[in-house]
Amino acid sequence: MELQGHFAPAGARPLLANFPLFRTSDLDEARDKVSRVFCDHRLRVVDRSQRIGAEMYLRPIRGIGVGRMRYGASVAIDPGQLGDFTLIQMPLRGSEVVEHAGHTVNSNTDVASVVSPTQAVSIRHGADTDKLFIRIDRETLERHCRQHLGGTLREPVEFLPEMALGSSRCQSWVRLMKWLCEEIGHENPQGEAVLDSPLFSAQVEQMVITTLLMCQPHNYSERLAQDGPSIAPHFIRRTERYIEDKAHEPLTIGELAEHAGVSTRSLFAGFRKYRDTTPMQYLKDVRMQRVHQELLRSAPDTTTVTDVAMRWGFSHLGHFAVDYKRCFGESPSATLGR
């Protein structure tokens, strides 16, 4: 099988062939295996005369996953909202039609699709289509975006669904994907690989997400393009890391200041100047993100919104529900019921 398009390997070996995940001719098995990587979805064969020949290859790298997949038949895929990840799909061969966020993306070897987690999507995957994909955890993406902006996100990151791979704007993304696929192609899954290094894999994760944020238009592009705030002092970044690590604990402003090695007054002033927020609001925003992630992962028959909210320190459920809807565009019960 010869792969075509921007990311074709230099040699004869198919892309990511050294990281096989599954291969099946059973529709239900294909749906189950794909659901474990992405999310629950409906899957049906469009042309009943065709037979499924699905296969997937996947290389996880921290909060991202680099993969390749095909179905071998024309299929309709309906996952609703992805929920907790962003998905970039780049056909190596063939085409697919992606309906997303009011757009119709006719995706082929020159046009990729970028699916944001908070908007419904449906996909018509062509029988001859073989695609490279990048899966990025929503929490990881939003954390990197917050760090670049130097502040909090008041709404989810939502991308323009169509990515023109031949445009000058996207050349950095294309070059990065070529390099990354080549590096993965040289790995031995049974041996030690450079991408397994925590230091190197963290840099790769950051590079992939930063390149996507800079190359593909989204609702924070204008803010990212503007001159950002002055570089924050070390104690601000130290406090942010501490909050990220300890958000589940009953933190106080005094504890945060003590950890940062400054007075509470200096901590407040620093967050106001460099982050346009307060330390405790930053903590609240992080906890709200954690609630959202937990609700997405939980089942409504074993979990309640009240339990999750209380576990993350939100004791006033009325205020919590209002703040949650402002952040995520839906009620917490709607997220749990998905």
pLDDT in tens, 256-304: 999 999 999 999 999 988 888 899 999 998 999 899 889 988 888 899 9
Note the pLDDT of residue 1: 31
Confidence of residue 71 (pLDDT cuts 50, 70, 90): very high
Residues of the chain with CATH 2.60.120.10: 20-215
Q: Give which of 306, 289, 287, 292 is closest to 338, Cα–Cα.
A: 292
Note the pLDDT of residue 4: 46
Q: Per the CATH hierarchy, to which homologous superfamily does domain 20-215 belong?
A: Jelly Rolls (2.60.120.10)
Mean pLDDT over residues 2-26, rounded?
A: 73
Look at residue 155 and tell me whether its pLDDT is greater than 80: yes
* Rounded distance between C-alpha atoms, residue 233 and residue 249, angstroms: 24
Note the pLDDT of residue 316: 86
Look at residue 9 and tell me whether its pLDDT is greater than 60: no
Residues of the chain with CATH 1.10.10.60: 234-337
Measured at the alpha carbon of residue 177, what is the angle toward residues 63 and 97, in degrees to the nearest 5? Answer: 90
Q: What is the dihedral of CA 11, 14, 20, 24, to 10 degrees?
A: -160
Look at residue 172 and tell me whether its pLDDT is greater than 80: yes
Q: Report yes or no: 174 and 112 within 8 Å, Cβ to Cβ.
A: no
Q: What DSSP string runs through 50-80?
A: S---EEEEEEEETTEEEEEEE-SS-EEEEEE
pLDDT in tens, 176-233: 999 999 999 888 877 677 788 887 888 899 999 999 999 999 999 988 887 555 567 8
Report the DSSP beta bridge partners of residue 80.
121
Query: Which of 1.10.10.60, 2.60.40.10, 1.10.390.10, 3.40.50.300 would CATH assign to domain 234-337?
Result: 1.10.10.60
Average pLDDT, the chain: 89
Note the pLDDT of residue 3: 37
Backbone φ and ψ of 86, nearest 5°:
-100, 145
Q: In terms of pLDDT, which residue wins out, 80 or 149?
A: 80
Instruction: Give the distance, in angstroms, between the CA of residue 261 and the centroid of all CA atoms in the same chain.
Output: 34
DSSP conformational letter for 227: -
Amino acid making up residue 86: T
- The tokens describing 118, both together, are 């908070």
Look at residue 8 and tell me whether its pLDDT is greater than 60: no
